Chain A
C-alpha cells in the first residue's frame, strides 16, 4: 500500500480558532498524516482533541494556518481547484438533518452534481447507481423529513457517492443514530470499502474502529498513537489516560489475561474472544485426556 501515492497528504498542519483579537485556541499542532488509496482509516480522540477539525481539513473546508494539505497533489489552498478536491474527497457530517438541501431525495442527491456541472442525462445514471449502492432506490421520490436518521445518512452518502469521489470522510456520521441506523451505515461503509473506496471515519464508537485498517489517536491537537487497531488497543493504559474506551472484546481479553496468563490479551472483536475461549477449552480437554 505504501508504494502508492497517498490520496491525501497532510503535512505539518497547525490550526487555531480565533476567540477574539489577541486570543487564539490552538486546535491542531504539526499534524502529519497520509491516507492511501483503498485504506480504511479511523481517527479517534475525546471531545476537543481536534479530530473533527482535522477531518475538515481533508477536503479544504478548513485550510491550515501553517502547513499544507494535498489531495491527489492538489493543495487545498488552491481555490481555483477546490472543485476537484471536494469532488475527490466527499464528506458526511454528524447531523442527518443538516446536510439535506432539497425536499425530495433524488433532488438532494443531484445537488452536488449540479454544482460540479454534470449534464442532466449523466446525472440520472449516477443518481440511480448511488441510491442503489446505499439501498435507498425505493425512496427516491420521498421527502427527506419522512425518513429515519439512518436513512437520511444513507441519502447523504448517496449524494457524495454520486460525485464519484475516491475517498469518503465520515465526521461522526453515526453518532446521532440509533443502533439500527448505525448498523445500516456501517454495512454501507463496509461494502464501499470492499469495492475499493478509501474511507476515513472520525468516531468514538470503538466497535467501528476495530474494523479499520489503521487507527490514528488524537490528543490536544496532535497524533499520539497510530497503528492497526490491534496495536492501538494493546495500549489500554494509555488509552484510558486519554479518556478513550477500548472495545468490550479487548477489555474482556485483558481481564482474563490478568487472571490467567495463557489467554491472549490482544483481541479486538467479539468472535476472536469466542474462538480463543474455544481453543483453550479444547486444549484443556485434550490435556485431561478425553
Chain B
C-alpha cells in the first residue's frame, strides 16, 4: 500500500543527479544539440539493428554519465501501458498501411505482416530509447543549464520577436515544480485515503471510475498550483523580475574540445543508425 503513494520517488524528469561525469560537464548547448540530433535519428531510423544499436548507445550513456540504469528503467515503467496500447493498435490497424514483407496472418481488416511487426517492435524500442535519452539528459543537466542551453540555441529567434527568455523561464519553472507537486499530490492522496477515498482498488478496465477516483486529488492540486503561482509571481517581482526586460546571465559557457567531440560523435552515431540497412 505504501509504495502506491510514493510519487516523488518515481519521477525522473527534472531531477538532477550530480555525479560529475564527462556528460555532466558538457556544455549544455552542445549537449542539447547532440540530443536533438539523436532524437531525430531515432525518429527516422526504422530498422531492427539500427534501433538495437541506438538502444545499446542509450544504455551506454548511463554508464558514461555514471547514472545507475534503474533511474532510466523507472522512467520506462509508467510508460509500459502506453507502449502496449500503442503496439496493439499498430498491430491491428497498421497492417494495411505497412504493407509488404511476408503476411503472417490475415482476418478481415487485420493484417499482420513482417512489416507491421517491425513497425510495432521498432516503435516500442523508440519509446524506450527516447525515455532513456531524455532521462540521461535531465539527470546529467541541471534544468537551469538545460534552459540556458535552449535559450542560447533559440537565441536567433529573438530577431523575429520570439520571447526566448520568457519561454526558457516558463520551462525552468515548470520543471522546478515537478517534484514539489509530486510531493503535494502524495500528501493529498494520503489525506484523502485516510478519509476513506479509494484509489486503485477499482478494476483497471473501469477507466471512468478510476478517472473519477482521481478527481478529489486533481481539483485541490490545481487549487494549490494556482496559489503557488501567485506566491511565485510576488517573489519574482520582489527580486526585480520584469518580463521582457534585459538581464545579464550568471553562467557563461565556453565550448572546448570535448563539446565539439560530443556533437561529432552524436552525428556519427546518427549516420550509422540511418545507414544500417536491416
Which of B43-51, B99-107, B214-222, B238-246 lies at the interface? B238-246
Residues of A within 8 A of B252 (CB): 120
On whether the beta carbons of B142 and A117 are closer than 8 Å, the reply is: no
- From A90, A98, A123, A127, B231 is in contact (CB under 8 Å) with A98
On whether the beta carbons of B240 and A83 are closer than 8 Å, the reply is: yes
| B143 on interface, CB distance cutoff 8 Å | yes
- From B173, B175, B240, A87 is in contact (CB under 8 Å) with B240
Counting contact residues on chain A (CB < 8 A from B), the size range is 35 or more
On whether the beta carbons of B249 and A115 are closer than 8 Å, the reply is: no
Binary flags per residue of B141-157, CB closer than 8 Å to A gives 1, else 0:
01110000000000000
On whether the beta carbons of B18 and A141 are closer than 8 Å, the reply is: yes
| A104 on interface, CB distance cutoff 8 Å | yes
- From B14, B245, B248, B250, A103 is in contact (CB under 8 Å) with B14
| B235 on interface, CB distance cutoff 8 Å | yes
Binary flags per residue of A123-164, CB closer than 8 Å to B gives 1, else 0:
110010000000000000101110000000000100110010
Chain B residue nearest to A114 (CB atoms) is: B247
On whether the beta carbons of A103 and B240 are closer than 8 Å, the reply is: no
| B179 on interface, CB distance cutoff 8 Å | yes
Q: Give Cα A116 to B238, complex, Å.
A: 12
Q: How far, in Å, is A53 (CB) from chain B's closest CB?
A: 12
Chain B residue nearest to A111 (CB atoms) is: B239
Q: Give Cα A101 to B16, complex, Å.
A: 15
| B234 on interface, CB distance cutoff 8 Å | yes
Residue among A90, A100, A160 with the highest chain B CB neighbour number at 10 A: A100
Q: Give Cα A119 to B180, complex, Å.
A: 31
Residues of A within 8 A of B240 (CB): 82-83, 86-87, 112, 115-116, 163
On whether the beta carbons of B247 and A115 are closer than 8 Å, the reply is: yes
On whether the beta carbons of B248 and A104 are closer than 8 Å, the reply is: no
Q: Tell me the B1-46 residues at the A interface (CB within 8 Å).
A: 14-16, 18
Q: Give Cα A44 to B252, complex, Å.
A: 44
Chain B residue nearest to A95 (CB atoms) is: B231
On whether the beta carbons of B176 and A119 are closer than 8 Å, the reply is: no
| B172 on interface, CB distance cutoff 8 Å | yes
| B261 on interface, CB distance cutoff 8 Å | no
Q: How far, in Å, is B213 (CB) from chain A's closest CB?
A: 27
| B228 on interface, CB distance cutoff 8 Å | yes
Q: Taking A103-B142, A145-B180 as contacts, is the C-beta distance between A59 and B238 under 8 angstroms?
A: yes
| A56 on interface, CB distance cutoff 8 Å | yes
On whether the beta carbons of B231 and A102 are closer than 8 Å, the reply is: no
Chain A residue nearest to B227 (CB atoms) is: A98
On whether the beta carbons of B238 and A61 are closer than 8 Å, the reply is: yes
Residues of B within 8 A of A163 (CB): 239-240
| B237 on interface, CB distance cutoff 8 Å | yes
Binary flags per residue of A94-114, CB closer than 8 Å to B gives 1, else 0:
110111111110110011111
On whether the beta carbons of A118 and B248 are closer than 8 Å, the reply is: yes
On whether the beta carbons of A101 and B247 are closer than 8 Å, the reply is: no
Residues of A within 8 A of B245 (CB): 115
Chain B residue nearest to A91 (CB atoms) is: B238
Residues of A within 8 A of B235 (CB): 91, 93, 98-99, 101, 156
Q: Taking A95-B231, A117-B246 as contacts, is the C-beta distance between A112 and B239 under 8 angstroms?
A: yes
On whether the beta carbons of A86 and B250 are closer than 8 Å, the reply is: no
Q: How far, in Å, is A86 (CB) from chain B's closest CB?
A: 5
- From B228, B242, B249, B250, A98 is in contact (CB under 8 Å) with B228
On whether the beta carbons of B250 and A110 are closer than 8 Å, the reply is: yes
Q: Give Cα A59 to B52, complex, Å.
A: 59
Binary flags per residue of A150-194, CB closer than 8 Å to B gives 1, else 0:
000000100110010000000000000000000000000000000
Q: How far, in Å, is A78 (CB) from chain B's closest CB?
A: 14
| B232 on interface, CB distance cutoff 8 Å | yes
Binary flags per residue of A56-78, CB closer than 8 Å to B gives 1, else 0:
10010100000000000000000
Q: How far, in Å, is A196 (CB) from chain B's closest CB?
A: 21
Q: Taking A61-B234, A103-B142, A107-B142 as contacts, is the C-beta distance between A120 and B175 under 8 angstroms?
A: no
Q: How far, in Å, is A17 (CB) from chain B's closest CB?
A: 13
On whether the beta carbons of A160 and B239 are closer than 8 Å, the reply is: yes
Q: How far, in Å, is A67 (CB) from chain B's closest CB?
A: 21
Chain A residue nearest to B235 (CB atoms) is: A99
Q: Taking A93-B231, A111-B239, A120-B248 as contacts, is the C-beta distance between A102 and B176 under 8 angstroms?
A: yes
For the A-B complex with A101-B173, A115-B241 known, give 8 more contacts whose Cβ atoms are closer than 8 Å. A98-B228, A99-B231, A103-B176, A107-B251, A143-B15, A145-B183, A159-B239, A163-B240
- In the assembled complex, 10 residue pairs joining A and B whose CB atoms fall closer than 8 Å, in A order, are A86-B237, A86-B240, A98-B232, A101-B176, A101-B236, A102-B144, A103-B144, A103-B176, A115-B242, A143-B16
Interfacial residues, chain A to chain B (CB-CB below 8 A): 56, 59, 61, 82-83, 86-87, 90-91, 93-95, 97-104, 106-107, 110-120, 123-124, 127, 141, 143-145, 156, 159-160, 163
- 3 shortest interchain CB distances as A-B pairs: A99-B235, A98-B231, A112-B239
